[in-house]
Structure 1
Amino acid sequence: MNALVPDADLPAHVERALAGFLGRAGEEIVRTEPSVRAGIEALSGFVLGGGKRLRPTFAWWAWRGAGGDPAGPDAEGVLQAVSSLELIQACALIHDDLIDSSDSRRGSPTVHIASAKLHADRGWLGSPATFGLATAVLVGDLALAWADDMFADAPLPAATMAAARPAWRAMRTEVLAGQYLDVRTQATGDASPEAALKIDKLKTAAYTVQRPLHLGAALGGAGEQLIATLLEFGGDLGVAFQLRDDLLGVFGDPSVTGKPAGDDLREGKRTLLVALGQRLAAERGDTAAARVVADAIGNAGLRDAEVDTVREVLTEVGAVAAVERRIDELTATAMAALDRAHLAEPAPAALTGLVVKATQRTY
C-alpha cells in the first residue's frame, strides 16, 4: 500500500492535500498585493479549522469500491480531486452563515463576524458590518474558484478527469440550487413537509453524499449501473443525514454541534421536523402547540427557555418520533442499495461505518 495515502488515515491526508494547495494558491497574489493576505488567511483558517471531511471520504470510498488502488499511481491525484470538495463546502458554509446571520461556526466567530471585528478594531472607514458582509462574499467566492482549480489540476489522466467532470458540474449547480430553494422557502413561508424534503434532497443529499459518491466512482472507472446504485444509496442516506442534523439543530448539545441550541429555529429553517410539528399539532386540533412552533420559526430573539418549550411540543405531538422513523426507513433502504452495489472490499465496511456516523443519535 502507498504509504502516502493509507485508507485508515484519510482525514489527515485530506488535510495535507488542502494545506498544500492553499499554501501554493495564494503565493503569487500575496506577493503582488500583500493586503489580501488577511482574506486568504481567513479562508485557510476556515478550511483547516475543522470539519468532518465527509464529502472527500464518501468520494474516496466510492473510488476504492470501484476498484481504485491506494498504492497505485493515481492515488495522490484522486486524493487531490476529492479533497477539493472541501473548498466547495467552505464556500457553501461561509455564504450560508452570512445568509442565516449566524454568529458562530464550530465554536468560533463566522467569517463575516470576524471580518467586521477586524474593521472595528482597526478603526477603518464605513460600516464594520458591511465590510464583514462583503469580505464573506468574496472569501466564499474565492473558495469556489479555488475548488475548481484544485480539482482541475489533479494529476490524473485526461480520460479519468473527463469521466468525473459531469459529477463535479452537477454538484456545483445542485448545491447552489438547493441553497436558493432554502432561501426561497423561508421567504414564502412554505411550511409543508413536502417543501422541506425537496430542500433535503437537493441541498444535502445530492451535494453531501450522492455527487461525492458519483465523483469517486467515476474516477474509479465505474459503469452507469454502479453509479446509479450509488446515487440511490446516497440519496436515501443524504436525506437521513439531514434529518438527523435537523434534530441536532433543535435538540443537540452546542459543545458537539458547534452552534447554539435552537439556532435552526432562530434562522427560520423550514425543516421536516418543524413542518411535521405544525401538521401533527393541527391534526390533533392543538392550536396552541401549532402556534408555539410557528412563532419560534424565524424568531431571532428566541430564548433558551422558549427553545425548551418548542422541544416539548415537538416531542409531545409526535414530530420527533416521526422523523426518527423516517431516518430508520431511509437508512434501511440505503443499506439495501449499498448491498446491491457489490463494491470492492473494504469499501462496503467503510461506507457502512459512514452510514452509522451520519445517522446515529447523539443527543
Structure 2
Amino acid sequence: MIDFAAGGKCVRSVYVYLGWLCGGVGESEPALRAAASAELLHAFALVQDDVMDESPVRRGAQSAHRRLAGWHSSQGLSGSSDRFGESAAILLADLYLVWAERMLRESGVAAAALDRAWPRYDSMRSELAVGQLADLTNDANRVPTVGAVMDIARRKSGNYTVRRPLELGAAMADCDETVMGVLGEYGEAIGEAFQLRDDLLGIFGDPSATGKPTGDDVRERKATTVIALADQLATPSERTRLRDLWKEASIDERGVALAQAVITDSGAAQCAEQMIDDRVAHARRVLDGVDLEPSVVDSLHRMALLCTHRTH
C-alpha cells in the first residue's frame, strides 16, 4: 500500500524542514522525520482527489482506485470492481491520514515543539478539506472570476503546499512573529505561483513529464485560473467557442486543441506566466527583509524557482 505514496517531489516536506531551519536550531533527525510525515498527508489528498476527479493516472501509473479495481476484478470477487476500487481507495486514504499524524507525533520532536505545531497542522488539514469541497463545486460551465478561482486555488493547494508547511516547521522551531509573518507572506506568494504553474501544466503539460494526458484539465472541465483568464481575455467569438466546448458531452483531442488555441491566442497563458514571475519576485523581496541564515534564504529562493519553473 505504501507505494501509492512514492515518486513525489517532496515539496511540502522540504518546506516543513526549511521552516524548522528558520528557527536557527540546526539540523535535526527528529525534525526531518516530522517533515517527512507531510508526504503521507499528501498521499491522503492525492488518493481522494483521484477518486473525486475519476482520474485514471497518477505519476505515470494507474491511480490507486483503478489499481484496486483491477485487483478486485482479477480475484473474481462479486459486485462492481469500480465501486470496490473507489471504496477501498477512500479507506487507503484514511490510513495515510492516520499514518501521517502518527509519524509526526512519534518523530522524536520534543513535546513542547509539537504542541506549538498541532493547531497549525489541524488548520492545514481543515483548509485542505474545505478547498477540496470548493473545487468540487467549481464548474467551468459557470466560468467563475479569476479572483474566485484564485481563492479556491489558494485554499486547496497554495497554502497547503507552501505556506502551512513552512509555518508548521517554524512553529516547531519556535520562530518569532516577525519570521512567521515573513514566511507566511513568502508562502502565500509561492503557493499561488505553484498552483498557477500546475494549472498551465494541466493544459499544456508534456505527458512524459507530468504523468497525465495533455489537456487533462480541459477534459475534466476544471475552472482553473488559466481557463478563467482565457474567458476574461478572449474575444467575444473565441469566448463563445470556449463556453460551447464545455457544454459538449465529452471533450476529445480536437476539443483540447481548440481550448489550447483559445488560451494561447487570448494571451491567458502569457498572463499566467507573468503572474508567476510577479509572485516569485515578491517572495524574493520579502525574504530580503528578514534576518535568517544565508543558507536558509538561499534554499528558500531555490525552492521558489523549483516550485514555479517545473515541468511536472
Fold similarity call, TM over 0.5: yes
State the identity %. 38
Measured in 1, the distance between the counterparts of 2:249 and 2:188 equals 32
Matched to 2:292, the amino acid is L
Query: In the TM superposition, what is the alpha-carbon distance from 1:116 to its structure 2 partner?
Result: 0.8
Measured in 2, the distance between the counterparts of 1:234 and 1:294 equals 34
- 1:175–1:248 distance in 2 versus 1, CA, 3 Å: same
Matched to 1:58, the amino acid is Y
Instruction: Identify which of 56, 73, 84 aligns with 2:13.
Output: 56
SS of 1:170's equivalent in the other structure is helix
Counterparts of 1:318-333 in structure 2, within 5 Å, are: 318-333=267-282
Counterparts of 1:194-213 in structure 2, within 5 Å, are: 194-213=147-166
Per the alignment, residue 99 of structure 1 pairs with 52
Instruction: Identify which of 125, 128, 131 aligns with 2:78.
Output: 125
Instruction: Identify which of 258, 275, 280 aligns with 2:233.
Output: 280
Per the alignment, residue 4 of structure 2 pairs with 46
Query: In the TM superposition, what is the alpha-carbon distance from 1:190 to its structure 2 partner?
Result: 4.7
> TM-score normalised to the size of structure 2?
0.95
Counterparts of 1:82-97 in structure 2, within 5 Å, are: 82-97=35-50
> TM-score normalised to the size of structure 1?
0.82
1:311 maps onto 2:260 in alignment: yes
- 1:51–1:61 distance in 2 versus 1, CA, 3 Å: same
CA contact under 8 A between 1:266 and 1:298: conserved in structure 2? no
Q: Compute the RMSD of aligned alpha carbons.
A: 1.7
CA contact under 8 A between 2:16 and 2:170: conserved in structure 1? yes
CA contact under 8 A between 2:230 and 2:268: conserved in structure 1? yes
Query: In the TM superposition, what is the alpha-carbon distance from 1:320 to its structure 2 partner?
Result: 1.0
Per the alignment, residue 302 of structure 1 pairs with 251
Instruction: Identify which of 276, 284, 304 aligns with 1:335.
Output: 284
1:246 maps onto 2:203 in alignment: no
Q: Which deviations, in whole Å up to 9, do the C-alpha atoms of 1:212-242 show, x marking residues without a partner?
A: 1001111222011211110000001100110
- 1:47–1:361 distance in 2 versus 1, CA, 3 Å: closer
SS of 1:87's equivalent in the other structure is helix
- 1:227–1:310 distance in 2 versus 1, CA, 3 Å: same
Query: In the TM superposition, what is the alpha-carbon distance from 1:146 to its structure 2 partner?
Result: 1.3
- 1:296–1:56 distance in 2 versus 1, CA, 3 Å: farther
Q: Which deviations, in whole Å up to 9, do the C-alpha atoms of 1:32-74 show, x marking residues without a partner?
A: xxxxxxxxx2xx01112x000000101111211221311xxxx
Aligned residues: 312
Which ranges of structure 2 fall in alignment gaps of 5 or more residues? none
Per the alignment, residue 61 of structure 2 pairs with 108
- 1:296–1:248 distance in 2 versus 1, CA, 3 Å: farther
CA contact under 8 A between 1:65 and 1:345: conserved in structure 2? no
Task: Name which structure has the greater RCO, CA cutoff 8 Å, separation 6+.
Answer: 2
CA contact under 8 A between 1:266 and 1:300: conserved in structure 2? no
- 1:352–1:304 distance in 2 versus 1, CA, 3 Å: same
Per the alignment, residue 350 of structure 1 pairs with 299
Greater Rg over alpha carbons, structure: 1
CA contact under 8 A between 2:141 and 2:246: conserved in structure 1? no
1:236 maps onto 2:207 in alignment: no
CA contact under 8 A between 2:127 and 2:155: conserved in structure 1? yes
Query: In the TM superposition, what is the alpha-carbon distance from 1:297 to its structure 2 partner?
Result: 4.3
Measured in 1, the distance between the counterparts of 2:41 and 2:311 equals 26
